Structure 1
Amino acid sequence: MSRAETRALGSLVIAGIALWFLQMRFLDGWQVVALPPRHMIASYLFVVIGMAIGETVLSGATAAGRELEDERDHHITRRAELISHWFLVAVVNILVVQLILQHTYTSSVFAPLAIVSTSGVVFTLLALLFAAHIVKMIATLVLYRL
Protein backbone atom coordinates (compact mmCIF):
# COMPACT_ATOMS: atom_id res chain seq x y z
CA MET A 1 0.00 0.00 0.00
CA SER A 2 1.44 3.35 -1.04
CA ARG A 3 1.83 6.37 1.22
CA ALA A 4 -1.16 8.09 -0.42
CA GLU A 5 -3.35 5.02 0.11
CA THR A 6 -2.25 4.72 3.74
CA ARG A 7 -3.03 8.38 4.31
CA ALA A 8 -6.45 8.04 2.62
CA LEU A 9 -7.30 4.99 4.73
CA GLY A 10 -6.24 6.73 7.94
CA SER A 11 -8.20 9.85 7.03
CA LEU A 12 -11.22 7.69 6.25
CA VAL A 13 -11.03 6.13 9.72
CA ILE A 14 -10.64 9.53 11.40
CA ALA A 15 -13.60 11.01 9.49
CA GLY A 16 -15.70 7.92 10.27
CA ILE A 17 -14.99 8.33 13.98
CA ALA A 18 -15.86 12.04 13.78
CA LEU A 19 -19.13 11.30 11.99
CA TRP A 20 -19.94 8.58 14.55
CA PHE A 21 -19.30 11.05 17.39
CA LEU A 22 -21.56 13.64 15.75
CA GLN A 23 -24.43 11.22 15.34
CA MET A 24 -24.01 10.05 18.95
CA ARG A 25 -24.31 13.66 20.17
CA PHE A 26 -27.08 14.89 17.87
CA LEU A 27 -29.30 11.87 17.16
CA ASP A 28 -31.62 9.68 19.18
CA GLY A 29 -32.55 6.88 16.84
CA TRP A 30 -33.14 8.67 13.53
CA GLN A 31 -34.39 11.91 15.11
CA VAL A 32 -32.30 15.01 15.74
CA VAL A 33 -32.32 15.97 19.42
CA ALA A 34 -32.74 19.64 20.36
CA LEU A 35 -29.44 20.47 22.05
CA PRO A 36 -28.59 23.62 23.96
CA PRO A 37 -26.13 25.92 22.15
CA ARG A 38 -23.26 25.14 24.54
CA HIS A 39 -23.53 21.40 23.73
CA MET A 40 -23.60 22.12 20.00
CA ILE A 41 -20.54 24.37 20.14
CA ALA A 42 -18.69 21.90 22.39
CA SER A 43 -19.48 19.05 19.98
CA TYR A 44 -18.45 21.18 17.01
CA LEU A 45 -15.15 22.21 18.59
CA PHE A 46 -14.39 18.67 19.78
CA VAL A 47 -14.95 17.21 16.31
CA VAL A 48 -13.09 19.93 14.41
CA ILE A 49 -10.11 19.99 16.78
CA GLY A 50 -10.06 16.19 16.94
CA MET A 51 -10.12 15.95 13.16
CA ALA A 52 -7.33 18.53 12.85
CA ILE A 53 -5.16 16.74 15.41
CA GLY A 54 -5.85 13.36 13.81
CA GLU A 55 -4.99 14.62 10.33
CA THR A 56 -1.81 16.28 11.63
CA VAL A 57 -0.67 13.10 13.34
CA LEU A 58 -1.54 11.10 10.24
CA SER A 59 0.41 13.47 8.00
CA GLY A 60 3.41 13.23 10.30
CA ALA A 61 3.22 9.45 10.44
CA THR A 62 2.94 9.04 6.67
CA ALA A 63 5.60 11.67 5.89
CA ALA A 64 8.44 9.39 7.01
CA GLY A 65 9.95 7.82 3.93
CA ARG A 66 8.03 10.27 1.74
CA GLU A 67 7.82 9.29 -1.89
CA LEU A 68 7.51 11.82 -4.63
CA GLU A 69 4.03 12.31 -6.00
CA ASP A 70 3.71 11.92 -9.74
CA GLU A 71 1.04 12.98 -12.21
CA ARG A 72 -1.04 9.88 -11.46
CA ASP A 73 -1.28 10.88 -7.79
CA HIS A 74 -2.39 14.39 -8.73
CA HIS A 75 -4.91 13.01 -11.23
CA ILE A 76 -6.36 10.63 -8.63
CA THR A 77 -6.61 13.46 -6.09
CA ARG A 78 -8.45 15.68 -8.59
CA ARG A 79 -10.86 12.89 -9.57
CA ALA A 80 -11.58 12.05 -5.93
CA GLU A 81 -12.26 15.73 -5.18
CA LEU A 82 -14.60 15.90 -8.18
CA ILE A 83 -16.48 12.79 -7.02
CA SER A 84 -16.78 14.30 -3.54
CA HIS A 85 -18.03 17.58 -5.03
CA TRP A 86 -20.76 15.88 -7.05
CA PHE A 87 -21.77 13.81 -4.04
CA LEU A 88 -22.19 17.01 -2.03
CA VAL A 89 -24.15 18.68 -4.83
CA ALA A 90 -26.46 15.66 -5.16
CA VAL A 91 -27.14 15.36 -1.43
CA VAL A 92 -27.81 19.09 -1.01
CA ASN A 93 -30.26 18.98 -3.92
CA ILE A 94 -32.00 15.94 -2.45
CA LEU A 95 -32.33 17.75 0.88
CA VAL A 96 -33.72 20.87 -0.80
CA VAL A 97 -36.32 18.87 -2.73
CA GLN A 98 -37.18 16.85 0.39
CA LEU A 99 -37.73 20.01 2.45
CA ILE A 100 -39.88 21.59 -0.27
CA LEU A 101 -41.98 18.44 -0.62
CA GLN A 102 -42.24 18.11 3.15
CA HIS A 103 -43.82 21.55 3.39
CA THR A 104 -45.96 21.06 0.29
CA TYR A 105 -47.38 17.62 1.11
CA THR A 106 -48.17 16.51 4.63
CA SER A 107 -48.18 12.77 3.95
CA SER A 108 -46.07 10.50 6.13
CA VAL A 109 -43.63 9.82 3.26
CA PHE A 110 -42.14 13.33 3.51
CA ALA A 111 -42.52 13.85 7.27
CA PRO A 112 -39.44 12.09 8.72
CA LEU A 113 -36.87 14.72 7.76
CA ALA A 114 -37.00 17.31 10.52
CA ILE A 115 -33.85 19.39 10.08
CA VAL A 116 -35.47 22.79 10.44
CA SER A 117 -34.33 23.19 14.06
CA THR A 118 -30.96 24.72 14.87
CA SER A 119 -29.66 21.34 16.05
CA GLY A 120 -30.91 19.75 12.84
CA VAL A 121 -29.23 22.31 10.61
CA VAL A 122 -25.93 22.12 12.52
CA PHE A 123 -25.93 18.31 12.46
CA THR A 124 -26.89 18.14 8.78
CA LEU A 125 -24.20 20.59 7.66
CA LEU A 126 -21.45 18.94 9.71
CA ALA A 127 -22.54 15.45 8.70
CA LEU A 128 -22.53 16.48 5.03
CA LEU A 129 -19.01 17.85 5.29
CA PHE A 130 -17.70 14.69 6.92
CA ALA A 131 -19.67 12.45 4.53
CA ALA A 132 -18.17 14.30 1.55
CA HIS A 133 -14.69 13.78 3.01
CA ILE A 134 -15.44 10.08 3.52
CA VAL A 135 -16.60 9.80 -0.10
CA LYS A 136 -13.37 11.49 -1.22
CA MET A 137 -11.22 9.07 0.76
CA ILE A 138 -13.15 6.03 -0.51
CA ALA A 139 -12.85 7.34 -4.08
CA THR A 140 -9.11 7.83 -3.56
CA LEU A 141 -8.69 4.25 -2.37
CA VAL A 142 -10.78 2.85 -5.22
CA LEU A 143 -9.00 4.94 -7.87
CA TYR A 144 -5.59 3.73 -6.67
CA ARG A 145 -6.78 0.16 -7.14
CA LEU A 146 -8.08 0.69 -10.70
Structure 2
Amino acid sequence: MALGLLQQGSSYGMLYLYVGIFMLLITGFVATTLVIARLISPGRRSGTKNQIYETGETTVTDPWRPFPVRYYVFALLFLIFDVEAAFLYPWAVIYRDLGLYGFVEMVIFVAILTVGLAYAWKKGALKWV
Protein backbone atom coordinates (compact mmCIF):
# COMPACT_ATOMS: atom_id res chain seq x y z
CA MET A 1 0.00 0.00 0.00
CA ALA A 2 2.77 2.43 0.94
CA LEU A 3 4.70 1.53 -2.20
CA GLY A 4 1.64 2.35 -4.30
CA LEU A 5 1.34 5.72 -2.56
CA LEU A 6 4.98 6.48 -3.26
CA GLN A 7 4.55 5.62 -6.92
CA GLN A 8 1.54 7.93 -7.18
CA GLY A 9 3.63 10.78 -5.83
CA SER A 10 1.65 11.41 -2.65
CA SER A 11 3.24 13.41 0.11
CA TYR A 12 5.28 11.95 2.92
CA GLY A 13 2.76 13.34 5.39
CA MET A 14 0.16 10.86 4.19
CA LEU A 15 2.61 8.01 4.66
CA TYR A 16 3.27 9.11 8.23
CA LEU A 17 -0.48 9.32 8.77
CA TYR A 18 -0.89 5.72 7.60
CA VAL A 19 1.97 4.56 9.82
CA GLY A 20 0.46 6.43 12.78
CA ILE A 21 -2.96 4.90 12.21
CA PHE A 22 -1.39 1.46 11.90
CA MET A 23 0.53 1.95 15.17
CA LEU A 24 -2.67 3.04 16.95
CA LEU A 25 -4.49 -0.02 15.64
CA ILE A 26 -1.70 -2.31 16.83
CA THR A 27 -1.62 -0.65 20.26
CA GLY A 28 -5.40 -0.90 20.54
CA PHE A 29 -5.37 -4.57 19.55
CA VAL A 30 -2.67 -5.43 22.08
CA ALA A 31 -4.38 -3.48 24.87
CA THR A 32 -7.75 -5.07 24.08
CA THR A 33 -6.23 -8.55 24.05
CA LEU A 34 -4.52 -7.99 27.40
CA VAL A 35 -7.68 -6.62 29.02
CA ILE A 36 -9.81 -9.51 27.74
CA ALA A 37 -7.23 -12.05 28.92
CA ARG A 38 -7.16 -10.40 32.35
CA LEU A 39 -10.96 -10.44 32.61
CA ILE A 40 -11.56 -14.04 31.58
CA SER A 41 -8.57 -15.70 33.23
CA PRO A 42 -9.13 -17.42 36.57
CA GLY A 43 -7.17 -15.67 39.29
CA ARG A 44 -7.09 -18.32 41.98
CA ARG A 45 -4.11 -18.22 44.27
CA SER A 46 -2.96 -21.38 45.97
CA GLY A 47 0.02 -22.71 47.83
CA THR A 48 0.93 -24.89 44.87
CA LYS A 49 1.27 -21.91 42.55
CA ASN A 50 3.59 -20.17 45.00
CA GLN A 51 5.97 -23.12 45.29
CA ILE A 52 9.31 -23.33 43.54
CA TYR A 53 8.96 -24.44 39.94
CA GLU A 54 12.39 -24.59 38.36
CA THR A 55 14.03 -27.67 39.91
CA GLY A 56 11.49 -28.90 42.38
CA GLU A 57 14.01 -28.59 45.20
CA THR A 58 13.29 -26.39 48.15
CA THR A 59 15.94 -23.77 48.69
CA VAL A 60 18.30 -23.96 51.63
CA THR A 61 19.42 -20.32 51.58
CA ASP A 62 17.67 -17.09 50.76
CA PRO A 63 17.01 -17.13 46.99
CA TRP A 64 17.03 -13.33 46.72
CA ARG A 65 20.72 -12.62 47.06
CA PRO A 66 21.72 -9.38 45.37
CA PHE A 67 24.34 -9.50 42.65
CA PRO A 68 27.35 -7.27 43.14
CA VAL A 69 27.22 -4.05 41.13
CA ARG A 70 30.54 -5.04 39.56
CA TYR A 71 28.75 -7.53 37.28
CA TYR A 72 26.40 -4.86 35.97
CA VAL A 73 29.22 -2.39 35.36
CA PHE A 74 31.20 -5.05 33.53
CA ALA A 75 28.18 -5.94 31.39
CA LEU A 76 27.56 -2.27 30.57
CA LEU A 77 31.18 -1.80 29.54
CA PHE A 78 30.94 -4.85 27.31
CA LEU A 79 27.75 -3.50 25.75
CA ILE A 80 29.30 -0.09 25.11
CA PHE A 81 32.31 -1.52 23.33
CA ASP A 82 30.20 -4.04 21.45
CA VAL A 83 28.13 -1.15 20.07
CA GLU A 84 31.39 0.62 19.23
CA ALA A 85 32.44 -2.37 17.15
CA ALA A 86 29.04 -2.35 15.45
CA PHE A 87 29.59 1.32 14.53
CA LEU A 88 33.17 0.82 13.41
CA TYR A 89 32.42 -1.91 10.89
CA PRO A 90 30.12 0.08 8.55
CA TRP A 91 32.47 3.05 8.84
CA ALA A 92 35.41 0.86 7.79
CA VAL A 93 33.46 -0.43 4.79
CA ILE A 94 32.83 3.05 3.36
CA TYR A 95 35.93 4.74 4.78
CA ARG A 96 37.27 5.92 1.42
CA ASP A 97 33.98 7.54 0.43
CA LEU A 98 33.79 9.59 3.64
CA GLY A 99 37.13 11.31 3.31
CA LEU A 100 38.78 13.36 6.03
CA TYR A 101 35.50 14.46 7.64
CA GLY A 102 34.40 10.86 8.28
CA PHE A 103 37.83 9.98 9.60
CA VAL A 104 37.83 12.90 12.06
CA GLU A 105 34.34 12.02 13.29
CA MET A 106 35.34 8.43 13.96
CA VAL A 107 38.55 9.50 15.69
CA ILE A 108 36.48 11.72 18.01
CA PHE A 109 34.05 8.85 18.64
CA VAL A 110 36.84 6.42 19.49
CA ALA A 111 38.63 9.05 21.61
CA ILE A 112 35.52 9.62 23.73
CA LEU A 113 35.16 5.89 24.28
CA THR A 114 38.87 5.60 25.08
CA VAL A 115 38.53 8.29 27.74
CA GLY A 116 35.59 6.34 29.18
CA LEU A 117 37.64 3.13 29.17
CA ALA A 118 40.54 4.87 30.92
CA TYR A 119 38.13 6.22 33.55
CA ALA A 120 36.60 2.76 34.13
CA TRP A 121 40.08 1.24 34.33
CA LYS A 122 41.21 3.83 36.87
CA LYS A 123 38.09 3.27 38.99
CA GLY A 124 38.78 -0.49 39.00
CA ALA A 125 35.68 -1.52 37.07
CA LEU A 126 37.70 -3.95 34.96
CA LYS A 127 39.00 -5.95 37.94
CA TRP A 128 37.00 -9.13 38.13
CA VAL A 129 38.05 -10.20 41.63
For the criterion TM > 0.5, the same-fold answer is: no
Q: Which has the larger Rg?
A: 2
TM bracket (short chain): 0.3 to 0.5
The structure with higher relative contact order (CA 8 Å, sep 6+) is: 1
